[in-house]
């Protein structure tokens, strides 16, 4: 079911991407020199669809890095809670191993109550 839904969503997106690439094959000049009007010193001719795909890819990477950096506190808390959980499990196992067994298991470690009469 999930595979069908993925296909239902991703197939139209793939068709749009292919149509975008086919319709925008014209070369455009990507200029890295904002001060020169005629022939910029740092320029690169490339198809428009490649420029659009590169911009989208860079946006995805920057967004992913920003999201990862924003979740640093959550990851730190989870690691600390994992260490505490491991410590508590180890302590519980140690206490199980040192617990009295056999005849002394029914005895309590508390002193007998004192009557106040």
Per-residue pLDDT tens over the stretch 63-94: 999 999 999 999 999 999 999 999 999 999 99
pTM to 2 decimals? 0.61
More confident call, 38 vs 12: 12
Provide the strand spans (E) within the chain.
27-31, 43-47
**End-to-end CA gap in the chain:** 76
Across-strand partners of 28?
Answer: 46
Q: Give the confidence band of 111 by pLDDT, cuts at 50, 70, 90.
A: confident
């Amino acid at each position: 079911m999930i595979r069908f839904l993925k296909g239902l969503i991703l197939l139209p997106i793939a068709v749009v991407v292919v149509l975008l690439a086919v319709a925008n094959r014209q070369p455009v000049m990507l200029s890295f020199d904002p001060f020169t009007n005629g022939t910029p010193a740092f320029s690169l001719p490339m198809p428009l669809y490649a420029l659009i795909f590169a911009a989208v890819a860079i946006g995805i990477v920057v967004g992913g890095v920003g999201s990862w950096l924003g979740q640093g506190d959550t990851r730190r808390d989870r690691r600390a809670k994992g260490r505490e959980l491991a410590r508590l499990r180890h302590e519980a196992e140690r206490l199980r191993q040192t617990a009295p067994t056999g005849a002394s298991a029914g005895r309590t470690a508390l002193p007998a109550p004192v009557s106040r009469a």
